Amino acid sequence: DAGVTQSPTHLIKTRGQQVTLRCSPISGHKSVSWYQQVLGQGPQFIFQYYEKEERGRGNFPDRFSARQFPNYSSELNVNALLLGDSALYLCASSLGGGTQETQYFGPGTRLLVL
């Protein structure tokens, strides 16, 4: 079975631009979460979606938005990019998004903002 997939793998943008990152969960998983990881730190929670509804949001500005589609894939959008948005963006999927469920991670999208 395919794991969590993310696209693109790498991306270079300039300040002020907008970016869309994509995630396909493991087949059968209905929950997708997004995390941002900057060098030297652990991943930080951005969003969780379950059955197309937002279930949780981390401490990120409104420039960050996401959505989940009927096939449970998800997109993360970041508007008005800042240099500080440069990071690895990880997507994780789980069956139902419960607190005791394992979240399975994709390889991430590395975003560089110049």
**Interface contacts to other proteins, rule CB under 8 A:** 3-4, 33, 35, 40-45, 48, 55-56, 58, 90, 92, 97-108
CB neighbours (10 Å) of residue 24? 21
**Residue 49 is encoded by which pair of tokens?**
């979606």
Q: Could you list the beta-strand ranges (E) of 1-114.
A: 5-7, 10-13, 19-24, 31-37, 44-50, 53-57, 64-68, 74-78, 87-94, 104-105, 109-113
Report, in Å, the least distance between residue 16 CB and other proteins.
29
Q: Would you state the structure tokens that stand for residue 59, as one six-digit string?
A: 């401490």
Q: How far is the CB of 84 from other proteins (least distance, A)?
A: 18
Taking the least distance from each CB to other proteins, the nearer of 50 and 85 is 50
52: how many CB neighbours lie within 10 A of its CB?
Answer: 12
Structure-block tokens of residue 101: 């469920």
* Cβ-based nearer residue to other proteins, 81 or 111: 111
Q: Least distance from C-beta 107 to other proteins, angstroms?
A: 5
Compute the least distance from the CB of residue 80 to other proteins, in Å: 24
Smaller CB distance to other proteins: residue 49 or 81? Answer: 49
For other proteins, the closer of residues 81 and 93 by Cβ is: 93
